Chains A and B, each alone.
Chain A
Amino acid sequence: MDTNKLTVSSSPHLHAGGSVRSAMLHVLLALAPATVFAVYYFGMTALLTVITGVVAAVAAEAFFLWVMKKPITPVRDGSAAVTGLLLALNLPAGIALWLVAIGAGVAIGIGKLVFGGIGHNPFNPALVGRAVLVISWPARMTAWMGPGLISAATPLAIYRDSGNAGSYRDLFFGFIPGSIGEVSAFLLLVGGLYLLYRQIIDWKIPVTYIGTVAFMMWLLGPEGWFTGDPLFHVLSGGLMLGAFFMATDWTTSPVTKTGRIIMGVGCGLITAVIRLYGGMVEGVSFAILLMNAFTPLIDRYTMGRRFGAR
C-alpha cells in the first residue's frame, strides 16, 4: 500500500450525495408545469419573458463576477437560473423584455452579489428585482393581460371592487389574468408537493402561510366576522407561488423549526393585511420581503431547548 496516497481527514468519511446544484435543478423542474401552462395560456410572450429572465439572470451573475475579478464558476450552481425564472413568473404577460432584463440584473446584482453571493443575501433576490420594477414602473407592472394580450383585471381586483369571486374551477386551474407563473394554483401545488417529496422544502412554511391567509380572510370577511371567502384568497394572486417557491427560499428563511412556523404565519398575516387594507390588491411579494428582514432575528430567538437542557 502506498501510504503517500492515503487521505487523512477528520470524520465523517461519507456524504449523502446531494448538492446545491441538484436542489436548484429540482426547483426548476418543479416550476416546469406552471411555466409550460403559462406558455400555453398566454402564448409566445410568456416563453420570451421566461427565456429573457433566465438568460439575463445567469448572464448578469457571470458578468458581475467577472467585473469583480472573481471566478465565474458559481454560476453553475443553478441559483441564478432559479432567480431569473422566479422573477419572470412574477411578471405580467406582455411586459417589455428590456424590463425583464433590468429586473434580472437588479435581482442578481443588488439582490444577491452585493451581499457576497449565494448564501449571503438577506432578501429573496427575485423579489428584490420585482419590487424595484413595481416601484419604478408601476403602470407597466400592473398592466394585467389575459390570453391574447387583452387587458383584463385580476380576480383579486375584481373581487375587491365588486365582491365577485368568479369561478373556482378557473382559479384553481389557472384560466385567469395575472402574473404569468402565478395563475395555475393546481400546477404550482403539484410542483410544491414535488419539492416536499424531494425534501428540498419543509412543509412548515407553505402550510402555515396558506393556512394563515385562509383563516384571516375568512375571519375578516366583507360582511363581518367569519364571512370571508378563504378558498378564493388561497387560489388567487401569487399565494401558491410565494408560499411554496419563495417564502421557502433556503437562504432567506429561518433554519429553526419554530422559526419556520413564525415565518409562515408572519407572511400570512402581512399578506392578509395588505390584501384587506393596503393600497395594492396583492401582498405576497412584500410580505415575504418583510419577513426576510426578520429572519436572522427569528433564528436567534427560536433555537429552542437542546437535548438534555434543564
Chain B
Amino acid sequence: MSRSFRGGVHPPHRKKSTEGLPIEHLAAPSVVVIPVQQHIGAPCEPLVAVGDRVLMGQKIADCAARVTAPVHSSVSGKVTAIEMRPHPNGRDTRAIIIENDGLDEKVAGLTPCPDIDLMSREEIIAAVREFGIVGMGGGAFPTHVKLTPPEGVTLDTVLLNGAECEPYLTCDHRVMLEWADDVIYGLRCLMKGAGVEKGMIGVEVNKPDAIATLQKAAESYGNISVVPLKVKYPQGAELQLIDACLGRKVPTGKLPLNVGVIVNNVHTAQAIAQSMKTGMPSVDRVITLSGACVERPGNLLVRVGTLFSDILKERGQKCEPKKLVCGGPMMGLAMYTPEVPVCKCTSGILALSAEEASYEEAMACVRCGKCVDACMMLLHPLFISQYGERGMWERAEEIGALDCRECGACSFICPARRQLTQTIRLAKSDIYANRSKK
C-alpha cells in the first residue's frame, strides 16, 4: 500500500524520454561561472582574487555567518573575473569566473573521511559544512544548519525525499538507482549528524526499480525503511511527505524540526556520501536536461558553474524554446537568458516548446472548486487570489494566504486558466511588505 496526502493533482509525467537513460558525465566547460551564493542565507565573500590560479575542490568563497555554505571551485584554472552575473534565481549575483585549464588538478589536502562509525556527531556536522553541502532538491538550505537544531528541539527521524513528483525530472530517480549505496551511506551520515536513530526514504511508486534497489541497499540496516508513496503532485512537498511517511502534521508557521523530523533530498545524501568517501567537496551534481526542444535529453553529471547555454549547445536544440525553465515545470523558474550557471540546487533544465508551455487568456472564475480540491494545504485559492487582486491583504491573510507553498496545483487545474498561484504569490509579498512597514 502506498501512502499519500489530501488534495493534489495528476500532471502528465513526461519522464519517459530520460528515466531510462543512465547518468552521463558531461565534460567540464572551458569557463565556469560560480556564484558566491548558491544557498539560502548569507552570501559568501570570495577568498581568491582575479588572476589567481585555483585548483579543483579549492574553497573559493566562505562566510562567518551561521546560515551559509562555502563555495568550491569545480575545475582547475585561472580566475579571470569576479563580477555580477545572471543567477538562476532571477537576480544578478556576484560570481567567480574561472577559465578551465582542463587539467582537473585537485587541491592538496583532500582526504577521505574515516568511516562514520569512527566519527563523532560534531565531526560529521563540521565535515558537511566544509564540503559546502546544501539541499539539492531545489531548496538550497545549508544542510549542516538542519543538523544543528535550536535548543529544546528533539529530533527522532531523518526523512529523505525521493518522491521526485515534478514532471520531466528524473535525476533523483537515476541517483537512487545507480548510487543507492551512497544514498544509504549519506542517510546514515545525516542520522548520526542529527543524532537520531530512525531513517526513512519516501519514493513514489512510479519508480519501482529505485524502491527495490534502495530496499536492497538498506537491508542490513533495520532502522532505515523505504516508504512507497502514491503518484500524485506534490507528493514531495516537505509537509505532505512528513504527513504521508510519519503521520505527523507540521503546525502552521512551524518547521519540520518542530515535529522531530529533518527532510533532505536523496541527491543531497548521495553528495554527502561522495564527499565523505573522496574528500572532494560539492562541485558537481546530476541534472535532468529535457523538454521538446532538446535534441539529446538526459541525466547529466555536470560541474557547478556550467552555463545552461553550454549544456544546450553540447546536447543540441531541435527547436527554438518558448520557455527555458530551471527546475521542474510546476515550481521552476523561467529564465530570461541561457547564460546562467548550474548551481548546487539546480535539478533540471527544461527547454519547453510553445506547445508544452501553453498559455491561454484567463476568464472569470466560475467557482468550480477544483482549486479547493487540489490544494494540499486545504486552502481556498480562488478566494485568496481574488482578495489579493483587490488589495484586500488582511482578508487574504486571514484565510491562509501565508500558508500557501506555491506548488502550482491550483493554476494547473483551473479550467478558467486563472493565474491563482501567481496572484497568491503576489498577495504574499504584499502582506510581507505591509508587515515590514508597520
Residue of B nearest to A305 (CB): B378
CB contacts under 8 Å to A, within B378-423, are 378-380, 382-383, 399-400, 403, 406, 408-409, 411-413, 415-417, 419, 421-422
> Distance (Å) between the CB of B87 and the closest chain A CB?
14
Say whether B252 contacts A306, CB under 8 Å: yes
| A6/B321 contact (C-beta < 8 A), A16-B9, A19-B415, A20-B416 known | yes
Say whether B12 contacts A14, CB under 8 Å: yes
Say whether B11 contacts A7, CB under 8 Å: no
CB contacts under 8 Å to A, within B342-363, are 352, 356-360, 363
Say whether A8 contacts B334, CB under 8 Å: yes
Q: Does A119 contact B (CB under 8 A)?
A: yes
Say whether B363 contacts A118, CB under 8 Å: yes
Say whether B338 contacts A15, CB under 8 Å: no
Instruction: Give every chain B residue within 8 A of A257 (Cβ-Cβ).
Output: 372-373
Considering only CB atoms and an 8 Å cut-off, how many residues of chain A contact the other chain?
47
Q: Main SS of chain A's interface residues?
A: loop
Q: Does B312 contact A (CB under 8 A)?
A: yes
Say whether B372 contacts A255, CB under 8 Å: yes
Considering only CB atoms and an 8 Å cut-off, how many residues of chain B contact the other chain?
70
> Distance (Å) between the CB of A14 and the closest chain B CB?
5
CB contacts under 8 Å to A, within B303-355, are 309, 312, 317, 320-325, 329-338, 352
Residue of B nearest to A260 (CB): B369
Separation of A254 and B376 alpha carbons in the complex (Å): 19
CB contacts under 8 Å to B, within A88-140, are 116-120
> Distance (Å) between the CB of A103 and the closest chain B CB?
23
Q: Does A169 contact B (CB under 8 A)?
A: no
Say whether A16 contacts B413, CB under 8 Å: yes
Residue of B nearest to A1 (CB): B338
Instruction: Give every chain B residue within 8 A of A22 (Cβ-Cβ).
Output: 415
CB contacts under 8 Å to A, within B273-326, are 309, 312, 317, 320-325
Separation of A16 and B422 alpha carbons in the complex (Å): 16
Q: Does B366 contact A (CB under 8 A)?
A: yes
Separation of A18 and B12 alpha carbons in the complex (Å): 13
Q: Does B134 contact A (CB under 8 A)?
A: no
Say whether B379 contacts A11, CB under 8 Å: no
> Distance (Å) between the CB of B354 and the closest chain A CB?
9
Interface string of B112-151 (1 = CB under 8 A from A): 0000000000000000000000000000000000000000
| A307/B403 contact (C-beta < 8 A), A8-B334, A12-B421, A13-B330 known | yes
Say whether B400 contacts A306, CB under 8 Å: yes
Say whether B320 contacts A2, CB under 8 Å: yes
Instruction: Give every chain B residue within 8 A of A74 (Cβ-Cβ).
Output: 363
Q: Does A23 contact B (CB under 8 A)?
A: yes
Q: Does A162 contact B (CB under 8 A)?
A: no
Of A1, A118, A305, A307, which one neighbours B312 at CB under 8 angstroms?
A: A1
Interface string of A133-161 (1 = CB under 8 A from B): 00000000000000000000000000000
Of A13, A16, A202, A299, which one neighbours B334 at CB under 8 angstroms?
A: A13
Say whether A307 contacts B369, CB under 8 Å: no
Instruction: Give every chain B residue within 8 A of A3 (Cβ-Cβ).
Output: 336-338
Q: Does B364 contact A (CB under 8 A)?
A: yes
> Distance (Å) between the CB of A295 and the closest chain B CB?
9
Residue of A nearest to B369 (CB): A255
Q: Does B53 contact A (CB under 8 A)?
A: no
> Distance (Å) between the CB of A299 and the closest chain B CB?
8
Separation of A79 and B330 alpha carbons in the complex (Å): 30
Residue of B nearest to A252 (CB): B367
Say whether B357 contacts A119, CB under 8 Å: no
Q: Does B368 contact A (CB under 8 A)?
A: yes
- Total CB contacts across the A-B interface at under 8 A: 169
Q: Does A279 contact B (CB under 8 A)?
A: no
Say whether B336 contacts A6, CB under 8 Å: yes
Separation of A7 and B357 alpha carbons in the complex (Å): 9
Separation of A13 and B249 alpha carbons in the complex (Å): 29
| A13/B332 contact (C-beta < 8 A), A2-B320, A74-B363, A118-B363 known | yes
Say whether B251 contacts A308, CB under 8 Å: yes
Of B239, B329, B366, which one neighbours A118 at CB under 8 angstroms?
A: B366
CB contacts under 8 Å to B, within A263-310, are 299, 303-310
Separation of A146 and B334 alpha carbons in the complex (Å): 63
Say whether A14 contacts B372, CB under 8 Å: no
Q: Does B254 contact A (CB under 8 A)?
A: yes
Say whether A13 contacts B369, CB under 8 Å: no
Q: Does A77 contact B (CB under 8 A)?
A: yes
Best-buried of B330, B360, B368, B425 by chain A (most CB within 10 Å): B368
| A8/B400 contact (C-beta < 8 A), A13-B352, A255-B367, A305-B378 known | no
| A16/B11 contact (C-beta < 8 A), A7-B334, A77-B363 known | yes
Of A16, A305, A308, which one neighbours B250 at CB under 8 angstroms?
A: A308
Interface string of B239-256 (1 = CB under 8 A from A): 100010000011111100
Instruction: Give every chain A residue within 8 A of B329 (Cβ-Cβ).
Output: 11-14
Instruction: Give every chain B residue within 8 A of A308 (Cβ-Cβ).
Output: 239, 249-254, 377, 403
Say whether A11 contacts B416, CB under 8 Å: no
Separation of A77 and B163 alpha carbons in the complex (Å): 38
> Distance (Å) between the CB of B308 and the closest chain A CB?
9
Say whether A7 contacts B338, CB under 8 Å: no
Q: Does B167 contact A (CB under 8 A)?
A: yes
Instruction: Give every chain B residue within 8 A of A45 (Cβ-Cβ).
Output: none
Instruction: Give every chain A residue within 8 A of B110 (Cβ-Cβ).
Output: none
Of A9, A13, A116, A310, which one neighbours B252 at CB under 8 angstroms?
A: A310
- Known contacts A1-B321, A22-B415, then 4 further A-B pairs from the complex at CB < 8 Å, ordered by chain A residue: A11-B331, A18-B413, A23-B368, A308-B377
Q: List 24 A-B contacts (CB under 8 A).
A: A1-B317, A1-B321, A6-B321, A9-B323, A9-B359, A11-B332, A11-B408, A12-B329, A13-B323, A13-B356, A15-B360, A16-B9, A19-B360, A116-B364, A117-B364, A119-B363, A119-B365, A250-B368, A255-B367, A255-B382, A256-B372, A260-B369, A306-B400, A308-B254
